[in-house]
């Protein structure tokens, strides 16, 4: 069983920054691709970003490209999402997920999920 735990959410003003962290249990973190998704009230869960096992390949949703950066530290079993120039429309619960296969924009490809962390951006 893989456990996934997000942290770092909070309330921030528009234009501000937050860094989300995602800790994953187990000794095989370096074999997982990782992804971030988000879900706003009344909306479907949407892809935000993904990163390959080594960190050498990344994917971003168009809506966050140039503002968000995904990274990972395999020695710490942790993946990060640096979010800059935040907008009110970034308000959502952000979820971290494990993908055994590789980076993907589809939520269906992910095997384990965290409980989510709330990000609220005020205007």
Bridge partner list, 7: 21
Dist CA 25 CA 90 (whole Å): 28
Dist CA 115 CA 12 (whole Å): 21
For tokens 């971030």, the residue is 36
How big is the chain, counted in residues? 123
- The pLDDT of residue 37 is 98
Taking only the tens place, the pLDDT of each residue in 58-112 is: 999 999 999 999 999 999 999 999 999 999 999 999 999 999 999 999 999 999 9
- The pLDDT of residue 97 is 98
- The pLDDT of residue 79 is 98
């Amino acid at each position: 069983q893989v456990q996934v735990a997000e942290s770092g959410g909070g309330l921030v003003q528009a234009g501000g920054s937050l860094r989300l962290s995602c800790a994953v249990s187990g000794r095989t973190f370096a074999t997982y691709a990782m992804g971030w998704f988000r879900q706003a009230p009344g909306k479907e869960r949407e892809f935000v970003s993904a990163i390959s096992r080594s960190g050498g390949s990344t994917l971003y949703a168009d809506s966050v490209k140039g503002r968000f950066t995904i990274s990972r530290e395999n020695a710490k079993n942790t993946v990060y999402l640096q979010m800059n120039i935040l907008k009110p429309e970034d308000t959502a619960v952000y979820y971290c997920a494990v993908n055994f296969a590789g980076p993907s924009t589809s939520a269906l490809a992910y095997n384990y999920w965290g409980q989510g962390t709330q990000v609220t951006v005020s205007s």
